[in-house]
Amino acid sequence: MPDLPSGLWGTTLGEVSEESIALDLDDTGVARTLPRPLHRQDEVQQVPYRPVRFCDDDLPRALERSATWLRSAQEWLGEPLDVIAVHLDYDDRAGRPYYEVKLLCNEEDLAGAPIAVRARTAQTAG
């Protein structure tokens, strides 16, 4: 996951509504005022995972599409895609698909980092 610029502040969160909300974030992307764990073995970790969402009124169909995508993404990547969690939610608002399946995937895998590493290794070896 790319590091955020040092001293990042004033980041906005505007996807949820038309109004932007200013966020005061530290270098790891969490709020500067977030209480930190006190014990030396505990920490707020940087999580390089990104959700990939599949929405449908039919849960088996959403799951099938997520499995189809996962197979094709792994074939593209050339190795198993790092998925840390599968999240199931629903949206009962009118006109919206009821089920939402999210695969929480490693951001570096989605960016193709393993492909680039293999290509660089092949160049230096050849």
Q: Which amino acid is present at 40?
A: R
| Pair 78, 115: CB distance under 8 Å | yes
The residue ranking higher by pLDDT, 124 or 18, is: 124
Confidence band for 19, pLDDT divided at 50, 70 and 90: low
Provide the β-strand partners of residue 55.
100
Same domain, 12 and 54: no
Whether residue 18 lies inside any domain: the answer is yes
60-117 pLDDT, tens digit per residue, is 999 999 999 999 999 999 999 999 999 999 999 999 999 999 999 998 899 899 998 8
Q: Read off the pTM.
A: 0.66
Q: For the chain, what is the mean pLDDT?
A: 83
Q: Which amino acid is present at 21?
A: I
Residue 50: what pLDDT?
A: 87
Alpha carbon 39 to its chain's center = 28
Provide the β-strand partners of residue 89.
100
The count of structural domains within the chain is 2
Instruction: Provide the residue range defining the domain that includes 26.
Output: 1-33
- pLDDT of 126 over the 80 cut: no
Place of tokens 């590493």: 117
Closest CA to 115 of 79, 90, 87, 84: 79
Whole-angstrom Cα distance, residue 52 to residue 114? 19
Same domain, 60 and 98: yes
| Pair 105, 83: CB distance under 8 Å | yes
Residue 124: what pLDDT?
A: 85
Quick one: average pLDDT of 25-31?
Answer: 80
31-52 pLDDT, tens digit per residue, is 888 788 888 888 877 777 889 9
Whether residue 83 lies inside any domain: the answer is yes
